[in-house]
Amino acid sequence: MNPKPRHIERALRERVEIVPYDPAWPGLFAEEVARLRAALPAELIGRIEHFGSTAVPGLAAKPIIDMLVEVRSMEDVAERIAPLLRALGYEFFWRAPGHGLPGMEYAWFIRRDAAGRRTHHIHFVEAGSSEWGRLRFRDYLRAHSEVARAYGALKQRIAAQYPDDRIAYAKAKTCFVREVMRAVRRDHIPW
């Protein structure tokens, strides 16, 4: 069995920390959009969206800005975007479309500050990817502050329960996220 690369091991070991909403988060998103647009060829990327908990005003979150970036193809990410961002210090991660299948379905990068703390998760996906459905979750939380508060409280509880296990933390949110997505479908919230 091959050992995991060091950057993956590091990412999995990092502590889960939930903090109160910071009104600076939208500005940090805008700054990173400008940084990406300056660093990457314009023909490679399309829309860029702020998603995740830092995109929901008032919601407690991990202090990491989540971003979705539209790309023409995952080949562009592997061949052209990854080398550029890695040269700038971003850590590169990717997921294959299925066991034993070639290619890359989904790619993301971690940007860190000078102290080594995560500041941004930048997710690259094609226009037709189901990952864009994450925006529906964000929009539902923005429109339903009581659901957002419940989600924030859940995240604080599970971060306390699994402070050093990012995988268990993520899995513990699954039922809540599924319930919200059922509500999204029931309410016919558009893409």
CB 162 within 8 A of CB 168: yes
What does R_g of the chain's alpha carbons equal in angstroms? 17
Q: What's the pLDDT at 23?
A: 98
Report the C-alpha gap between 38 and 50 in whole angstroms. 18
Task: Write a three-state SS string for 48-100.
Answer: EEEECHHHCCCCCECCCEEEEEEECCHHHHHHHHHHHHHHCCCEEEEECCCCC
Averaged pLDDT in 10-residue chunks for the chain of 191 residues: 60 84 98 98 97 96 97 92 96 72 74 95 92 92 96 96 92 94 79 49
Q: What's the pLDDT at 98?
A: 60
CB 52 within 8 A of CB 26: no
Q: What's the pLDDT at 102?
A: 52
Domains of the chain in start order, with CATH, are 6-186 (3.30.460.10)
